[in-house]
C-alpha cells in the first residue's frame, strides 16, 4: 500500500516518513507500506481555499493510486482537533470520495509529541529534561518554544531536529501521553490492517 501524506511544515516533510516507518515497525510488523514523500501545504490556504484544498487532495490521490491511503497531518493550534478533523474529513470525502483518507491534527503542534516523550530524548541534540518536571504534553501553546528552552543552545531547527527526534522518541511514551498521537496510531492500524 502506498501512503501519501499532506503536511504543513518543512519539518514534517522530513519527519513524518520517519515516524510512519517506525509506527509501521511498531504497530504492524511484517506489513509493508510505501511511504511517499509528503506534499507540503500552507495550512491557511489549504483549509480556506477550496480549489487549493481539492488540488492537493487530488495530487495525493494520484500519487498513492487506487489502493493507497491519504493522511492529512496538520497542527491543531488553537482548534479542537476532533471538531476540525471531522470537518476536514467531510470536505475531503466530497473532493475525493473514491479514496481512503484520514485526518490527524496534532494537538497543538507536532512537537507536542516530543514533549510527551521528553525523557527518551534527554541528551539528544542538546536537549535536556528534568524528570521531576510535570507537564501535559498537549497543553503548551508554543511546543516549539518549549523544546527550544530545553536545548543547551536554545535553538530548534524544524528540518533538522524534527526528523532526528522523530527517529529517537519512545513511541509508547507518546502513545500513553498524547491523545492526538493515539489517533494517528488508530488510523494507521485501521488503514493498514483494515481494522
Ramachandran angles phi, psi of 16, nearest 5°: -65, -40
What contacts 59, CB < 8 A, 6 or more positions away?
39
Domain count along the chain: 1
pTM above 0.75, yes or no: yes
Tell me: the pLDDT tens digits for 120-145?
A: 999 999 999 888 787 788 887 889 99
Q: What is the pLDDT of residue 59?
A: 98
Domain region containing 166: 2-193
What contacts 29, CB < 8 A, 6 or more positions away?
none
Integer Cα distance of 175 and 184 in angstroms: 9
Amino acid at each position: 500500500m502506498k501512503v501519501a501524506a499532506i503536511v504543513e511544515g518543512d519539518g514534517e516533510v522530513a519527519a513524518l516518513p520517519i515516524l510512519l516507518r517506525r509506527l509501521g515497525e511498531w504497530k504492524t510488523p511484517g506489513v509493508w507500506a510505501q511511504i511517499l514523500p509528503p506534499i507540503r501545504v500552507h495550512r491557511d490556504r489549504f483549509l480556506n481555499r477550496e480549489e487549493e484544498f481539492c488540488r492537493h487532495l487530488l495530487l495525493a490521490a494520484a500519487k498513492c493510486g487506487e489502493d493507497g491511503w491519504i493522511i492529512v497531518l496538520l497542527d491543531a493550534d488553537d482548534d479542537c482537533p476532533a471538531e476540525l478533523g471531522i470537518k476536514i474529513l467531510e470536505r475531503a470525502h466530497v473532493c475525493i470520495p473514491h479514496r481512503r483518507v484520514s485526518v490527524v491534527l496534532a494537538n497543538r503542534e507536532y512537537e507536542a509529541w516530543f514533549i510527551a516523550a521528553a525523557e527518551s530524548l534527554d541528551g539528544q541534540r542538546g536537549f535536556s529534561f528534568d524528570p521531576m518536571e510535570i507537564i501535559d504534553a498537549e497543553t503548551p501553546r508554543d511546543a516549539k518554544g518549549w523544546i527550544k528552552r530545553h536545548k543547551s543552545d536554545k535553538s530548534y531547527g524544524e528540518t533538522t531536529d524534527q526528523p532526528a527526534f522523530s527517529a529517537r522518541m519512545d513511541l509508547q511514551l507518546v502513545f500513553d501521553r498524547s491523545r492526538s498521537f493515539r489517533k494517528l496510531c488508530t488510523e494507521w492500524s485501521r488503514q493498514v490492517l483494515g481494522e
